[in-house]
Amino acid sequence: MSTSRFAASRRLPAPVTVGVGLGIAALVRGTAARLMEDSLQGEVALITGGSRGLGLALARELTAEGCRIAICARDEDELDRARRDLEGRGAEVMTVPCDIRDEAAVNAMVAAVTSRFGRVDLLLNNAGIITVGPVEAMTSAEFADAMATDFFGVLYPTLAVLPQMRQRKRGRIASITSLGGKISMPHLLPYNSAKFAAVGFSEGLRAEVASDGITVTTIVPGELKTGSFLAAEFGGDREGEYRWFALGASAPFTMSADRAARIVVRGIKRGSAELTFPISAKLGARLNGLFPGATANVLSLVDRLLPAAPPTARGIVPGAVVGAGTDSAMLEKGTALGRAAAEEFNQEPSSLARTAPVANG
């Protein structure tokens, strides 16, 4: 066999060659990105809704990065449990009871954190609420509450830290929004509306403060396994709504809060503009942007599978209460992973008879 024929016989098929090339390119990009990551050692991180759920997972991850931690929430018992958890991991941590729907309270909270640590280097807007049910079971109060918590609860802390960050010409702001802020899923309209507003604010803010040395990152997670269904609120056919939401939030393929926290912190260190994850959420958001009509048609089919509202249904009930009244061994088994996550991330049912905002995820 001639040399040229031997060489030709050793060539890889074109698709394999392209795949190898793309793999190498991805490896090079990933390595370059890791080399460009900033250190967070010694920085002061303020996390709203940091007492449980994704907020607590983020506080743990930032503790491992060497940050000094400040967390706020409304429930002082939850804050105390989170403080003990974080101190056990070596954190220097400050807890501040605060209602993020109250601008004056938020300003006082940021002032207290700044007094203790000297500054706020990283603001992580995480606190939020989720209300589940069809639009006919909702009143304007549910929409107002979602906006107060999921949008103004992002706006107020951001406005409070911006002056000191601008003065230093340095700072990071990351806001946990949701895939619901990109694709409006049925039976989540108050939540979606507020998250769309939060996405728009975060994206525009990045452009406005870039020249001040401030990096803004918009975080767009899909469903996470944190036990959030116990903290969500349900209207309409409450047991039916709880059932589908709880099973989805407990599914084995749902991303864990720990993994989500690692992705978020890595993106913050790299100064990413936006992080949408997992890959299913990223693909869904892109398809919706390209084919919004087709997405709406698919979601209309999904809506037909969701529970119809009873004719006189009004008012919302916390998920822990609905779950306690749902007598189903199958449902208990189906939500076992979600309940384990609730215990791991400080969202035990005993702590959820409340009217306070809860952590995202």
191 included as an active-site residue? yes
Q: Residue 27: what residue type?
A: L
Rounded to whole angstroms, the maximal C-alpha distance in the chain is 85
Helix axes 152-168, 103-117, angle to 10 degrees: 40
Nearest to 225 by CA among 361, 346, 97: 361
Contact 92, 45 (CB under 8 A): no
Q: What are phi and psi of 212, to 5 degrees?
A: -95, 5
Contact 75, 355 (CB under 8 A): no
What's CA 176's distance to the chain center, in Å? Answer: 4
List the structure tokens of 356.
Answer: 């306070």
Q: Given 152, 191, 196, 201, which residue is catalytic?
A: 191
List the structure tokens of 74.
Answer: 């409304």
Backbone region of residue 335 per phi and psi (left: phi > 0; alpha: psi in -120 to 50; beta: other values): alpha
Across the beta sheet with 44-48, the strand order is 93-97, 68-73, 44-48, 122-125, 171-176, 214-221, 274-277
Q: Which DSSP string do the residues of 167-209 spell out, in sequence order?
A: HHT-EEEEEE--GGGTS--TT-HHHHHHHHHHHHHHHHHHHHH
Q: What are phi and psi of 234, to 5 degrees?
A: -130, 140
Q: What are phi and psi of 276, to 5 degrees?
A: -115, 125
Return the half-sphere exposure (C-beta side, CA atoms, 13 A cut-off) of residue 279: 1
Contact 235, 142 (CB under 8 A): yes
Contact 84, 51 (CB under 8 A): no
User: Could you count the other beta carbons within 10 Å of the beta carbon of residue 52?
Assistant: 33
List the structure tokens of 113.
Answer: 């954190």
Which residues are catalytic, by number?
191
